[in-house]
Amino acid sequence: MKKAILYINQFFGQIGGEEKADFAPEIREGLVGPAMELQKQLGEDVQVTHTIICGDNYMGSNTEEAINTILGFLEGKEFDIFFAGPAFRAGRYGSACGHIGKAVKEKFNVPVISSMNEENPGVEMFRSDIYIFKGGASAAAMRKDIKKMADFGKRLLNGEILNSAEEEGYYGRGIRRQVWLNPPVTAADRVIDMLLKKIHGEKFQTELPIPEQDRVPIAPPIKDLSKANIAVVTSGGIVPVDNPDRIQSASATRWGKYDVSEFDRLESGVYKTIHAGFDPAVANANPNVIVPLDVLRQYEKEGKIGKVNEYFYSTVGTGTTQGEAARMGKEIVEHLKEENVDGVIMVST
Amino acid sequence: MKLELGNFYVKDIVFGEETSYSNGILTINKEEALEVVREDEHITEADLFIVKPGDKVRLVPVKEAIEPRVRVEGGPVFPGVTGELMQAGNGRTHALKDCSVLVVGKHWGGFQDGLIDMSGEGAKYTYFSQLKNIVLVADTDEEFEKREQQKKNRALRWAGMRLAEYIGSCVKELEPEELEVFKLDSITKRSKDVNDLPSVVLVLQLQSQMEELGYNDLVYGWDTNRMLPTFMHPNEVLDGAVISGSFMPCSSKWSTYDFQNYPVIRRLYEEHGKTLNFLGIIMSNLNVALEQKERSALLVAQMAKSLGADSAIVAEEGYGNPDADFIACIVALEDAGVKTVGLTPECTGRDGKSQPLVTLDPKADAIVSTGDVSQLIELPPMETVLGELESLARDGLAGGWAGDEILGPSVREDGSIIMENNSMFCGDQVVGWSTKTVKEF
């Protein structure tokens, strides 16, 4: 007998509506609310042993605490699969399902299945972390959505061969894998078919969709460099040796700003790189190869630039998703504006 | 230009007294064949084996595959390579079908060499597991590259071509079981019916990234690194004008056998006069410097436009750096108003999450994907290994490794292996055999 645990919010957990959205996490033995339908759909081979309930606002404003509490509940419990939701179009609920689902998958290494409507912001936030099935807009779709989650969960637990995201009905996780077409159609046949459709203006489906590009136009040149405040921003992972902001060495979600107004260069042993994507020997011996403070100070003295900004900004680029990078970039820009920075040298590695 | 391909369908291959073909049985005089191999003094050891689909045989490091053929009216099968220059693609050529000559290193492999399993789970990764194969296992005195990751494999590749010509010569005087005719009228002399159809050019981007001569694909014996895009008749490709090189991760390589049988060319011939007007081939290349990439793309687009092509198919032999040439060429064609479809493998990484090509452009909106080079493949031990299994781990094959902190070595003590698709011999099958694609999970 395989075991499953379900996460739901305060509303579906029958605690209450918006007024109870601050409800702290609880774990209950057995089935609460949607867990009953989930149990019915999973059938006899999988038992839903517990239901976890948490208020959407509680998860939203105390995310780390809520996650830690729930992970604590799960410690020592036997379960083979974790479900969250379905969350329909409820944004906070979707985000909560994603947060807890991602944490559970990382800690316990079990498959996590949720369901959300395409307009739920949780989809874009967590689709690459967990299986999120395409769900209805409201609780009217409860049964249908739970059935999809349960059917896929059973197939996963049975070790069946799984089809692509589109065929299974979940939002693609950004994982591209080689498959054999069934029935087999050769690339020669496919290319002719696609070509004829393209020529005749008929609809065709590329096999390699090009992601939408989000290009930022190149900024106009700085008119007078000798008056400009220049900052360095890097994805090369240069930080004070104790890494005070705990920036991750890969797949970073954090960044840091460091005051260098008192220094003429970054000293080895005081600064280092925590980037895991290249050999750090050279950068650790001389951090200025990534954050060129030494040269910028010289330019400052020579009057080539107005000044070097008080702070430099750093994160790690390796494995970091475009989404996280864009978020961090937007956050950093606010600081740069406050500091009246005129130009930025972006150093990648 | 009119090419007649006379086909002889090989049902079985045996060693015997006289190299001959009769009723589907190809007999090979092994000693005589080995003499042909040893004509090159650089060949130090050589042996021949026959392997068939279903045999419990693993071949590694595989360097080349060639279809045995003969030019009936005389001349080399590979003009400018195995003999004097002459026009390929015109006249009569006889071919032994459903079989190939495979060239395998007795010991040493390299980046560009691959693996073939004739049975079991591994068989599905290469086209050549479906063929009856005459396997040349040989070693050479090419000391300068013995321990180099990049090998020209000159002596072995040329030995394979001589062997294919020698075996093919036994059907020179025979009446073929099937005669295929490949003929295109000159572009300006086509009937109205044909001219009214949408016209198409096939753009082949040959592997030519090595600056040093001896590694790249050859066109009539000419190194494609030193070539500007040029216009060719499809018959030339089908009839030995192009031979495979010895560079690039093996799965994305096109073997000489692939060129001789190029499925996309054959499909275009089938459509010619029905749904399309097949103008011919723009033969391009894949060089490393940005200027070279841009120059080739520019010339391809100009040629397509000058020829009046309404559409194009672009196929790249390789991945990674060549993706830049591939995308640049598609963009240049689309900008010139030529509706273009691309053919390529992808490299999505061990976790499947990497960007599939190193450059992308929204104008490349029609791509046929033939598989993922980075897919991990684990295979059980095989009863017989021809070549040297250790080469997969030891010699820097593109999809093998000596050690990995998580996966261990590619070759295990019990003979089982773990590798990336990268080293499956010509496994991406961009030439058109591939029934694989890549989907999102």
Q: From the list A162, A188, A198, which residue is nearest B366 (CB)?
A: A198
What is residue A200's DSSP assignment?
Answer: T
How far is B59 from chain A, CA to nearest CA, in Å? 23
Q: What is the ipTM of this complex?
A: 0.97
Alpha-carbon distance B248 to A96, whole Å? 47
Q: B14 vs chain A: nearest CA distance in angstroms?
A: 31
Residue of chain B whose alpha carbon sits nearest to that of A180 = B436
The whole-number average pLDDT for the span B24-34 is 98
Chain A residue whose CA is closest to B265: A188
Contacts of B431 (CB under 8 A, 6+ apart): A188, B254, B258, B259, B261, B262, B263, B264, B315
Q: Do B352 and A181 touch (CB under 8 A)?
A: no
What are the tens digits of pLDDT across the range A187-203? 999 999 999 999 999 99
Q: Given a cut of 90, is residue A212 above it in pLDDT? A: no
The conformation of residue A261, written as its DSSP 8-state character, comes to: T
CB atoms closer than 10 angstroms to residue A340: 10
For B276, the closest chain A residue by CA position comes to A196
- Whether the Cβ atoms of residue A69 and residue A7 lie closer than 8 Å to each other: no
Statement: residue B215 has pLDDT above 90: yes
Average pLDDT over residues A269-279: 90
Assess A109–B contact: CB distance below 8 Å, yes or no. Answer: no
> Is the confidence at residue B10, as pLDDT, over 70?
yes
Residues A142-146 have a mean pLDDT of: 98
pLDDT (tens digit, 9 = 90+) per residue, A165-178? 999 999 999 999 99
Band the pLDDT of A326: cuts 50, 70, 90.
confident
Of the listed ranges B2-6, B220-224, B294-298, B319-323, the one predicted with least confidence: B319-323
Amino acid (1-letter code) at residue B425: F
Distance from CA of B315 to the nearest CA of A (A): 10
Residue range B315-341, pLDDT digits in tens = 999 999 999 999 999 999 999 999 999
Q: How many CB atoms lie within 10 A of CB B351?
A: 11
Q: How many residues does chain A have?
A: 349
Summarised one tens digit per residue, pLDDT across range B282-312 is: 999 999 899 999 999 999 999 999 999 999 9
Residue B421, both tokens: 């698709």
Top residue of A127, A161, A176, A199 to mutate, by most chain B CBs within 10 Å, is: A176
Q: Please report which confidence band the pLDDT of residue B137 belongs to, taking 50, 70 and 90 as the band edges.
A: very high
CA distance A197 to chain B (A): 10
Q: How far apart are CA A86 and CA A136, in angstroms?
A: 9
Of B124, B268, B434, the CB nearest to A186: B434
DSSP secondary structure code for residue B188 in this structure: G
Rounded mean pLDDT, A84-94? 96
Q: What is the pLDDT, as a whole number, of residue B295?
A: 97
pLDDT grade for A321, boundaries at 50, 70 and 90: low
Name the pLDDT band for B354 (thresholds 50, 70, 90): confident
pLDDT one-digit tens code per residue, B63-78 = 999 999 999 999 999 9
CA A69, A74, A76 angle in degrees (round to 5)?
Answer: 125
Does residue A176 or residue A213 have the better pLDDT? A176
Distance CA A286, CA A282 (A): 6
Q: Write down the residue that tokens 């994305």 correspond to.
A: B252
One-letter identity of residue B128: F
Task: Please check whether residue A184 touches B, CB under 8 A.
Answer: yes
What is the C-alpha to C-alpha distance for residues B266 and B182, in angstroms, rounded to an integer? 9
Contact flag B364-A210 (C-beta cutoff 8 Å): yes
Is it the case that residue A211 has pLDDT exceeding 90?
no
Residue B13 in tokens: 């291959």
Region for A256 from its dihedrals, namely left if φ exceeds 0, alpha if ψ lies in -120 to 50, beta otherwise: beta
Q: Which of A191, A194, A205 to mutate to test the interface with B (most CBs of B within 10 A)?
A: A191
For the cut 90, the answer to whether the pLDDT of residue A249 exceeds it is: no
Q: Give chain A's mean pLDDT.
A: 95
Q: Which of B281, B310, B304 is nearest to A195 (CA)?
A: B310
Q: Which two tokens stand for residue B43?
A: 């060949």
3-state secondary structure of A207: coil
Residue range A311-327: mean pLDDT, rounded: 84
Residue A210's pLDDT band, with cuts at 50, 70 and 90, is very high
SS3 B392: helix
- Read off the pTM: 0.85
E-assigned strand segments in chain A: 2-9, 26-29, 46-54, 81-84, 112-116, 131-134, 176-180, 229-234, 238-240, 256-259, 271-273, 307-308, 311-314, 343-347
Mean pLDDT of A324-331: 88
Each residue's pLDDT tens digit, B141-199: 999 999 899 999 999 999 999 999 999 999 999 999 999 999 999 999 999 999 999 99
Which is it for the CA torsion B80, B81, B84, B88, positive or negative? negative
Q: What's the one-letter identity of residue A286?
A: N
Across the interface, which of A181, A187, A204 has its CB nearest the CB of B343? A187
Q: Which residue matches tokens 């560009």?
A: B112
- For A30-79, how does the pLDDT look when each residue is reduced to its tens digit (9 = 90+)? 999 999 999 999 999 999 999 999 999 999 999 999 999 999 999 999 99
Given a cut of 70, whether residue A280 has pLDDT beyond it is yes
What pLDDT was estimated at residue B260? 98
Chain B residue with Cα closest to A176: B440
Look at residue B390 and give its three-state secondary structure. coil
